[in-house]
Structure 1
């Protein structure tokens, strides 16, 4: 979950064969490469997908979700709203947008367990420093 101020960067998944939740609203991130830590993965994927550089210390939350395809890691990073100007869509997925957490959770095309993780995180008040 990548926050810029009070809003989040959201990707739209494409319809490639084999991709889970095709066409749905997604958080930046993706599959780990060999011997890559979950933190290294989300930092690399965020740079590839949005051209946004985050540092390990920017990761203020981590959670693991056990799903049908195995464990998935979720992180939150809060950046200042001004950093939005640095975003450069990397072409993975069908596009990107900015949404509030409430809008994501209410969106009919949000990935259900992503909404649940975001909602639980937001209710905790762990809103970072962005």
Structure 2
């Protein structure tokens, strides 16, 4: 059996080389760009098809949508200077993190950490003192 597969591999390689020499691969979409290979190892096998359908429909699963919102809120926090506005965003961030943690049903040791207002105020106060 391995003899037959070797013959097929050699035949396939030969045809690929001939097609390359004729330039049949020169104008393919995405030429010269890295392949976009999807890594779905972390998704349970029974959910992979559903996730792929959601992705193709440009929809995110709820957990990923929450993670995206948490990431956006964290980025927004870094640019806020007003203490009250920062506090409001931290409350929102903590709510989103709590929602994500309850959704995931994992050990509390693996939960996403929340942000605390006192730490922010202390840090902001110490940074103002340095100026």
TM-score if structure 1 supplies the norm length? 0.22
Larger Rg: 2
Give 1 or 2: higher strand fraction: 1
Higher helix share: 2
Q: TM-score, normalised by structure 2?
A: 0.22
